[in-house]
Structures are given as structure tokens and as C-alpha cells.
Amino acid sequence: MPDPIPSGDCAVLIQLDFGNAGFAERLDEFRLLAASAGTTVAAVVSGKRSRPDAATYAGKGKVVEIAEAVRLHNANVVIFNHELSPGQQRNLERELQCRVVDRTSLILDIFAQRARSHDGKLQVELAQLQHLATRLVRGWTHLERQKGGIGLRGPGEKQLETDRRLLGKRVALLKNKLKQFERQRAVRRRARTRSEVLAVSLVGYTNAGKSTLFNALTKAGAYAADKLFATLDTTSRRLFIEGAGQIVISDTVGFIRDLPHELVAAFHATLEETAQADLLLHVVDSASPDRDQQMAAVDAVLKSIGASDVPQIIVWNKIDASAAAAGVTLDEHGKIARVRVSAKTGAGLDLLRDALAGMAREKANT
């Protein structure tokens, strides 16, 4: 497998404008993604196009501009905030004489850095292998040293055929291991169902404050930082709610627009926890000017994993930054639709606990 983006790399970022809304917000997010991967942003190259160039995505003139930025800043990686085809990536690397990374590879690299649990690491590796399979050239024979006895090259077999066979065996091994973890999670879900404990999942755009809220509610001490995808592994804790008893609350991986489909597929077993929840707390960064688009991106992922019908309460987080007051908004049926809170200061958390208590009592009475 190709090496990940080394921490401390000097990068030139590329984002092209195809006339879609939210260009500035996407560029800000792109900078955060690059920083989260540990790279130093030396320059940003942008430009307008009607459509991607078939050979280099950016076009000949823009590639010359990018090459000049690479030389000027002595950059060793160029990162596109777009998905490149294998051919476009190879052409760009030949023209620029440095490594070229697309948005999908960047996100996969961040996930690889953040995964801590054994199954989380397996899911990330599977996603990386499935994505990079289309970019196979050479250099995959190290997989034969992986535990599991992957075989050696057969007589007369070309290197690329060997690489594909080794990759296929590794993918099959990872899928089998992940199925075991999926069965274990299914057992735990059945146990929770039998005990009639309310299962709550925190969902939301990356860096919306889910882990901070999780810690504020449960005192769990889960890792939280002002980074994109600060935590990946699902963490669950029991939480006692006055007047309602115990509930189980889970912190899940953050979503992002254009989330690579390889990650959605590889994390299917983990994301299934969200689809099986009784209630979703959709955490929103209320101070973000891009919050509506972020909410739409989260809803799109929820739909793709079969969780769009799970009841939701919108948690309007970071009111300390948006100057909003703590409070509750009801829907047309008189049910709580939104709670305004600050996970950082604790404002409004009592209202959120009351909302959870109401949902727990409702589940107990059904």
C-alpha cells in the first residue's frame, strides 16, 4: 500500500470553481482537512472551469500554474479538493513531478491516522484498499507478509496480476474479520432491546461538537479536539437521567459532504448502530455559516445507511459562539424538535436531558 501523507508535508492545495454554491466555505473546510492530515499549506491554487479536463482535471494552463507553485514553495505534495480518476492522477504526477492526492485519498488518510480500535483500523484499511485497487501499479507484494498466509506469485504471473491477487486476498480477510465484529455488535443490540433501554446516537457534521457534547453528558472523557474527524471509533456509555432511568448514548464518526463511498461501505457495520438507534441527536454547529449545507450532507449519509426514518432531535450546539439563547423549539405536534445548547459552557444541557427523559419514558410506555 502506498505510504500515507507524512506529517509535516508541504502541500499546494487545488480547488476549482465549477459554479456551485458555497465555494468559500468548501475552501475553508479543505484547509482544515489538510491541516488535520498534518500538512503545512504552502499555497492555494484556484480557478474557474465549466467542467473538469479529461486528462489532468485542471487543464494545461492551470497545471503550469500549479507546477510553478510547487517549485516556488518547494512543495512535495499537491492535494485536490476533488475526486481524480486514476489516469488524471498519473498524468498530474508526471507533469508536476511530485505526489498528487485527491479528496478521497486525503479523507482516507485522516481516518487512518485517527482510528484507534482494532475494528476501526480494519475498516479504514479495507476502505483504503478498495479505493486504491483502481490505482494499482506495483508495490503491493508487502501484503504477503501480513498475518493470514497470503500466497506468493505463481509461475509466469505478472507483477500486476500478483498485486491484484494479494490485494484481493487481503480484502477478503478484512471483510471476514469485520463480519465477526458485526455479529458481536448485533448481540449487544439485541441485549439492549430486551432491556428496553433507550438507545441514542449522536450524529452530525465533523467538528460540530459531538464528542464535547458526549463528554458533557456522560463525563466519559472521550477525545475531543478542534479538528476534522478528531474521533472515529464509536464509544457508548450508560447515562442516568433523573425521572427516566438509564439510557445508552453513543458517539459516532462525524460526517462530511462528499464522504467517500468506500468509507460508507467499510464503516457500514459501525454506522448500522446509528440506523438501529431509537433516537438520533443531530448535532449542528450553529455558528457555522455553512450549517444548512452541513445538515443536508448529514441527512444524505443517514439516508444512505437506512437511518433517515429514525426520530431526530436537532441539537443547536455552540450557542456561546452564535450568541443564541438556550431554549427549546417544538414541532407542529408539540414535540421537541430542536434544543439550543453549548456543550462547551453547559448552557441548555438541562433542557436536553429533559428531552431525553421524555423520549425514554415514551419508549418505556410503548
Using an 8 Å Cβ cutoff, are 270 and 190 in contact? no
DSSP 137: -
DSSP string, 213-280: HHHHHH-------SSTT---S-EEEEEEETTTEEEEEEE-PPB-TT--HHHHHHTHHHHHHHHT-SEE
DSSP 142: G
Neighbours of 272 (CB within 10 A): 17
Distance separating alpha carbons of residues 252 and 327, to the nearest angstrom: 25
Using an 8 Å Cβ cutoff, are 5 and 109 in contact? yes
The set of cell numbers assigned to 38 is 498534518
Query: Which stretches does DSSP call E strand in the chain?
Result: 10-17, 40-48, 77-80, 99-101, 198-204, 235-241, 245-251, 279-285, 312-317, 327-330, 336-340
Please check the confidence at residue 152 and state whether its pLDDT lies above 50.
no
Helix, strand, or coil (residue 93): helix
- Least Cα distance to 88 among 60, 57, 59, 66 occurs for 57
The set of cell numbers assigned to 31 is 484547509
Rounded to 5 degrees, φ, ψ at 231 are -130, 145
- Average pLDDT of the residues in 230-244: 78
Average pLDDT, the chain: 83
Q: If pLDDT is split at 50, 70 and 90, which confidence band does 193 have? A: low
The 10s digit of each residue's pLDDT in 327-359 is 999 999 889 999 999 999 999 999 999 999 999
- Average pLDDT of the residues in 222-240: 71
**Strand 10-17 with 40-48, pairing:** parallel
The set of cell numbers assigned to 132 is 486504491
- Average pLDDT of the residues in 53-60: 96
Give the least confident one: 141-150, 225-234, 307-316: 141-150
> Which residues, at least 6 apart from 83, have a Cβ–Cβ distance to it below 8 Å?
102, 103, 104, 258
Strand order in the sheet with 10-17: 40-48, 10-17, 77-80, 99-101
- Average pLDDT of the residues in 94-98: 95
Look at residue 150 in the predicted model and tell me its pLDDT: 34
- Average pLDDT of the residues in 154-163: 56
Look at residue 45 in the predicted model and tell me its pLDDT: 97
